[in-house]
């Protein structure tokens, strides 16, 4: 990790905009960063500068009908963070229409600037040629097109988030919040990251780590296994036998076991245990259920067994976890760590 927060009076965020962008891929990270700055109080808020840029500047109306106020790209001289939003439908069309944005990205990445691309916005990033032999991801719908157009890029089809030095790629808007919580910890402080996680994204299960090890993979192309995952998540309280699952899907238990491990990287038992503990964390954050009731709600009926599994997974007991994630002891105007 080589991210270095800006030590000057402003942390400058520049967002590239065009008519074919997906608004939520830009508004969500900007709102999270704004919330992080506000959590530091007035001083933190004054250190944040956000600018949306388009080729000519002025108001632009995007595909969703929203109109954004933008500044001309000629005024974008320096930025600490550059956000490249997702593209609505055809990324190749944006490459043809906006070569000026490719040039801006090229200069920023070449200078080592912190960069985030969301979904198919990665096409603009890859078009610079700066990402040869470096890890990237994109929206799953464009995997094959991306791989064909950029054969020298290391396309990570199973990763929702990739990092290559100061360049981050997010496969879809759904994963932006995970990355932003992580970056808030790097750019502001761990306390601010916890605040953002609790206030903005209570559904986040686990913060992004640049090198996740052993985490169940939900991004794959095996539709049969996707059906298994849907069935397992439908009611975590139910324990299903391998033979029952296999019979429902019309395959042998041996085939099911093999394909599940190949698609997700973990066994069905490991996947179910992870999902139960993920949901338990969410319930501990958002509800006032007792520890025993949380365990029962996710299919872990023995309180001792639940607490032991939870501690093995998180390093703390369920009670200690609840106390930590609900910690409101730092005020909104607290100074950074």
Q: Is the pLDDT of residue 44 over 90?
A: no
Q: Which of 29-38, 86-95, 166-175 has the highest mean pLDDT?
A: 86-95
Determine the average pLDDT of the residues in 27-46. Answer: 77
pLDDT, residue 45, reads 52
What stretch of H or E contains 271?
helix 268-286
Q: Are residues 102 and 33 in the same domain?
A: yes
Q: How confident is the model at residue 60 (pLDDT cuts 50, 70, 90)?
A: very high
Percent of the chain whose pLDDT exceeds 70: 85
In this model, does residue 216 exceed pLDDT 90?
no
User: What pLDDT is stored for residue 205 in this prediction?
Assistant: 40
What sign does the CA torsion over 278, 284, 288, 290 have?
positive
Same structural domain for residues 164 and 294?
Answer: no
Q: Which residues of 20-31 are buried (b: 16+ CB within 10 A; e: fewer)?
A: bbbbebbbbbbe
Residues 302, 235 share a domain:
yes
Contacts of residue 38, defined as CB under 8 A and 6 or more positions apart, other chains included, come to 44, 45, 332
Asked whether residue 334 is assigned to any structural domain, the reply reads no
* Res 305: pLDDT: 93
The average pLDDT across 152-167 equals 90
Please report whether residue 114 resides in a domain: yes
Same domain, 122 and 192: yes
- Average pLDDT over every residue of 170-187: 84
Residue ending a domain, choose from 200, 231, 251: 200
The pLDDT of 194-204, averaged and rounded, is: 63
* Residue 15 shares a structural domain with residue 91: yes
217 inside domain: no
Structural domain tally of the chain? Answer: 2
How far apart CA 314 and CA 303 sit, in angstroms, is: 16
Residue 9 has pLDDT above 90, yes or no: no
Whether residue 183 sits in one domain with residue 60: yes
Q: pLDDT tier at 186 (50, 70, 90 boundaries)? A: confident
Residue 125 has pLDDT above 50, yes or no: yes
Average pLDDT over residues 181-205: 72
CA distance 176 to 276: 23
Q: Which residue has better confidence, 55 or 177? A: 55
Same domain? For 129 and 230 the reply is no
Mean pLDDT of the chain: 83
**80 and 194 together in one domain:** yes
Q: CA distances (Å), 204 to each of 137, 238, 336, in order? A: 20, 23, 23
- Does one domain contain both 76 and 136? yes
More confident residue, 322 or 134: 134
Residue 215 phi/psi, 5° resolution?
A: -75, 135
pLDDT greater than 70 at residue 213: no
Which domain range does residue 229 map to?
A: 223-325
**Kind and range of the H or E run holding 68:** strand 67-72
Residues 155 and 195 in one domain: yes
Is the Cα torsion angle 273, 278, 284, 287 positive or negative in sign?
negative
| Domain assignment present for 68 | yes
Q: Grade residue 146 by pLDDT with cuts at 50, 70 and 90.
A: very high
Kindly state whether residues 230 and 148 are assigned to the same domain.
no
More confident: 81 or 237: 81
1 belongs to a structural domain: no
Q: What is the mean pLDDT of residues 27-38?
A: 88
Tell me the mean pLDDT in the region 253-275: 90
Confidence of residue 201 (pLDDT cuts 50, 70, 90): low
**pLDDT score, position 111:** 94
235: helix, strand or coil: coil
Average pLDDT over residues 202-214: 40
**CATH code for the domain in which residue 94 is found:** 3.40.50.880
Tell whether the model's pLDDT for residue 2 goes beyond 50.
no
Q: pTM (2 decimals)?
A: 0.61
- Residues 92 and 190 reside in one and the same domain: yes
5 lies in some domain: no
What contacts 281, CB < 8 A, 6 or more positions away?
205, 206, 314, 321, 325
């Amino acid at each position: 990790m080589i991210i270095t927060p800006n030590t000057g009076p402003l942390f400058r965020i520049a967002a590239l905009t065009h008519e074919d962008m997906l608004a939520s891929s830009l508004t969500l990270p900007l709102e999270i960063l704004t919330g992080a700055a506000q959590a530091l109080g007035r001083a933190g808020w004054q250190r944040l500068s956000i600018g949306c840029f388009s080729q000519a500047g002025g108001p632009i109306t995007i595909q969703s009908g929203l109109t954004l106020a933008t500044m001309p790209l000629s005024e974008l001289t320096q930025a600490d963070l550059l956000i490249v939003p997702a593209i609505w439908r055809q990324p190749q069309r944006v490459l043809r229409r906006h070569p000026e944005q490719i040039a801006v990205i090229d200069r920023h990445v070449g200078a080592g600037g912190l960069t985030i691309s969301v979904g198919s916005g990665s096409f603009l990033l890859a078009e610079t040629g700066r990402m040869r032999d470096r890890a990237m991801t994109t929206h799953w719908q464009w995997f094959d097109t991306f791989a064909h157009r950029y054969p020298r890029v290391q396309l990570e089809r199973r990763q929702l988030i990739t990092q290559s030095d100061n360049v981050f790629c997010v496969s879809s808007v759904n994963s932006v919040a995970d990355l932003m919580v992580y970056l808030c910890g790097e750019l502001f402080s761990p306390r601010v990251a916890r605040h953002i996680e609790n206030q903005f994204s209570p559904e986040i299960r686990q913060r992004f780590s640049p090198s996740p090890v052993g985490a169940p993979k939900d991004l794959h192309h095996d539709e049969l296994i996707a059906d298994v995952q849907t069935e397992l998540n439908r009611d975590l309280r139910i324990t299903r036998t391998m033979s029952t699952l296999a019979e429902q899907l019309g395959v042998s238990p041996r085939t099911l076991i093999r394909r599940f491990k190949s698609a997700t990287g973990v066994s069905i038992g490991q996947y179910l245990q992870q999902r139960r503990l993920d949901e338990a964390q969410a319930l501990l954050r958002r509800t006032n259920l007792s520890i025993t009731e949380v365990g029962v709600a996710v299919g872990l009926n023995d309180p001792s067994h639940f607490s032991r599994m939870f501690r093995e997974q998180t390093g703390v007991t369920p009670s200690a976890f609840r106390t930590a994630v609900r910690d409101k002891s730092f005020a909104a105007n607290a100074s950074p760590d």
